[in-house]
């Protein structure tokens, strides 16, 4: 305060971009990811109206809490780059970030990780890995809420990195470790569940890719957030990944839910339809040849199904994307009753997995 009563602001340093730049990038990405989340929620409720109520409530909870987070972050962005532009005291003020980042981020990440723990328990049938994931999820969630309360007491962002170093490191480190365990365990359980059939293998490969990709994205940004927080204690670089971490978790969860959706008339739908047509034609031809073989040649059945086809045929398909189907046979498939029962059980489990979470 000057002698004449006017307010004197601190001089803006030449390195102010290190403080404002990460905040601006984080806010822009946060708004963009909220738009993606809105579209995903709309598609989910449009495409899966018969899902369980618990899943619908989870999606609604994610959208509402992310809406609150976006509104609070927008208020702080306007204060930093609008009404308080050029005032370093406004830039250093915690504002509503104490609640919109550590608290909401801890709640969203903990909820998402608990969902993955339940899913791993359903697939693997073991309590050990889901138990570890649950403990880590609660640990990082509680630590994030503690960091939220600590940030509200400090009131200054410049003091946050030094005075909340331990709690923030445990919070972000526990989040990254939990995501890595989730990704590795999902990859292990799903690959172990392969049955050797092409259809089920394709389904599992799709689920593995989605799970690994979403898990690695969340883990990568949590590690980046922790790295920037530790390596640059006097800069705001850690805010760029920190502002969007909760949006990554909620979007990843919606990606898992919407992965069951098939867009009719899409770019790859013609190839999918051609593949299904070809498979149906091949199956019909195999059944026809089996009937002819059964009526003309003797055969023996050994506790299962015997199919014998001794001809090689080429069939031109009129469907785009499939030139021909070669029926390369001259083989006898014999399976014992126990093997057939085991294969049926594996297919039933994969069928339930494919319909999940409906």
- Please provide residue 138's backbone torsions phi and psi, each rounded to the nearest 5 degrees: -65, -35
Tokens encoding 163: 């005075």
Rounded Cα gap, residues 204 and 33, in angstroms: 28
Q: How confident is the model over 179-198, as pLDDT tens digits?
A: 999 988 888 877 776 666 66
Task: Give me the mean pLDDT over the 6-27 stretch.
Answer: 75
338 close to 302: Cβ distance less than 8 angstroms: no
Confidence of residue 21 (pLDDT cuts 50, 70, 90): confident
- What string of DSSP letters covers 55-77? HHHHHHHHHHHHHHHHHHHHHHH
Tokens encoding 5: 């009563």
Question: Which pLDDT score is estimated for 99?
Answer: 86
258 close to 43: Cβ distance less than 8 angstroms: yes
89 close to 67: Cβ distance less than 8 angstroms: no
Question: Which pLDDT score is estimated for 39?
Answer: 96
Question: Which pLDDT score is estimated for 165?
Answer: 84
Rounded Cα gap, residues 67 and 241, in angstroms: 18
Top mean pLDDT of 123-127, 135-139, 226-230 is at 135-139
Confidence of residue 2 (pLDDT cuts 50, 70, 90): low
Q: Residue 324's beta-bridge partner residues?
A: 316
Sequence spans of domains, the chain: 19-258, 269-355
**Which is more confidently placed, 118 or 263?**
118
**Which is more confidently placed, 64 or 6?**
64
pLDDT of residue 40 exceeding 90, the answer is yes
Top mean pLDDT of 41-50, 300-309, 318-327 is at 41-50
Which positions ≥6 away from 54 have C-beta within 8 Å? none
Question: Which pLDDT score is estimated for 122?
Answer: 82
Question: Which pLDDT score is estimated for 36?
Answer: 96
Rounded Cα gap, residues 357 and 225, in angstroms: 31
Tokens encoding 293: 């073989």
Mean pLDDT lowest among 145-154, 216-225, 302-311 = 302-311
Rounded Cα gap, residues 76 and 88, in angstroms: 14
pLDDT of residue 35 exceeding 90, the answer is yes
Which positions ≥6 away from 178 have C-beta within 8 Å? 113, 133, 136, 137, 140
Cα of 66 vs its chain's centroid, Å: 16
pLDDT of residue 319 exceeding 80, the answer is no
Question: Which pLDDT score is estimated for 8?
Answer: 55
Rounded Cα gap, residues 356 and 350, in angstroms: 10
Rounded Cα gap, residues 94 and 29, in angstroms: 20
Rounded Cα gap, residues 69 and 96, in angstroms: 10
Question: Which pLDDT score is estimated for 136?
Answer: 94
Residue 301 to residues 285, 292, 311, Cα–Cα distance (Å) = 21, 16, 21
DSSP 101: I
Confidence of residue 291 (pLDDT cuts 50, 70, 90): low
Confidence of residue 329 (pLDDT cuts 50, 70, 90): very low
CATH architecture of 19-258: Up-down Bundle (1.20)
Confidence of residue 290 (pLDDT cuts 50, 70, 90): low
Angle CA(339)–CA(204)–CA(121) in degrees, nearest 5?
85
* Share of residues in the chain with pLDDT > 70 (%): 66
The pLDDT mean for the chain works out to 74
193 close to 350: Cβ distance less than 8 angstroms: yes
Question: Which pLDDT score is estimated for 325?
Answer: 37
Question: Which pLDDT score is estimated for 4?
Answer: 56
SS (H, E, C) 170-191: HHHHHHHHHHHHHHHHHHHHHH
pLDDT of residue 342 exceeding 50, the answer is no
pLDDT of residue 225 exceeding 60, the answer is yes
Rounded Cα gap, residues 239 and 347, in angstroms: 46
**Which is more confidently placed, 151 or 25?**
25
Q: Measure the N-to-C terminal CA separation of the chain; round to a whole number of Å.
A: 63
Rounded Cα gap, residues 83 and 113, in angstroms: 38
């Amino acid at each position: 305060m000057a002698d004449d009563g006017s307010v004197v602001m601190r001089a803006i340093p030449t390195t102010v971009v290190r403080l404002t730049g990460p905040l601006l990038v984080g806010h822009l990405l946060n708004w963009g990811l909220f738009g993606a989340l809105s579209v995903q929620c709309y598609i989910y409720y449009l495409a899966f109206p018969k899902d369980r109520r618990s899943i619908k409530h989870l999606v609604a909870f994610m959208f509402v809490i992310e809406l609150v987070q976006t509104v609070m972050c927008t208020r702080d962005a306007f204060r930093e780059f609008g009404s308080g532009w050029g005032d370093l005291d406004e830039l250093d003020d915690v504002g509503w970030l104490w609640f919109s980042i550590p608290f909401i981020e801890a709640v969203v990440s903990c909820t998402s990780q608990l969902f993955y723990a339940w899913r791993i328990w359903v697939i693997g049938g073991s309590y050990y890995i889901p138990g570890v994931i649950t403990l880590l999820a609660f640990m990082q969630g509680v630590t994030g809420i503690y960091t939220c309360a600590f940030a509200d007491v400090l009131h200054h962002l410049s003091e946050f990195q030094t005075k909340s170093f331990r709690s923030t490191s445990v919070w972000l480190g526990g989040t990254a470790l939990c995501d890595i365990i989730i990704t590795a365990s999902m990859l292990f359980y799903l690959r172990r569940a392969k049955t050797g059939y092409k259809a089920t293998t394709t389904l599992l490969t799709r689920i593995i890719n989605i799970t690994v990709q979403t898990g690695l994205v969340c883990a990568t940004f949590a590690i980046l957030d922790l790295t920037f927080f530790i390596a640059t204690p006097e800069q705001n670089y850690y805010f760029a990944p920190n502002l969007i971490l909760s949006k990554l978790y909620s979007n990843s969860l919606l990606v898992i839910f919407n992965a069951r959706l098939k867009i009719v008339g899409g770019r790859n739908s013609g190839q999918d339809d051609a593949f299904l047509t070809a498979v149906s034609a091949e199956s019909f031809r195999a059944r026809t040849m089996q009937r002819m073989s059964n009526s003309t040649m003797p055969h023996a059945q050994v506790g299962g199904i015997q199919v014998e086809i001794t001809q090689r045929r080429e069939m031109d398909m009129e469907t785009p994307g499939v030139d021909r189907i070669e029926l390369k046979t001259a083989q006898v498939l014999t399976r014992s009753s126990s093997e057939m029962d085991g294969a049926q059980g594996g297919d039933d489990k994969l069928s339930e997995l494919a319909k999940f979470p409906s």
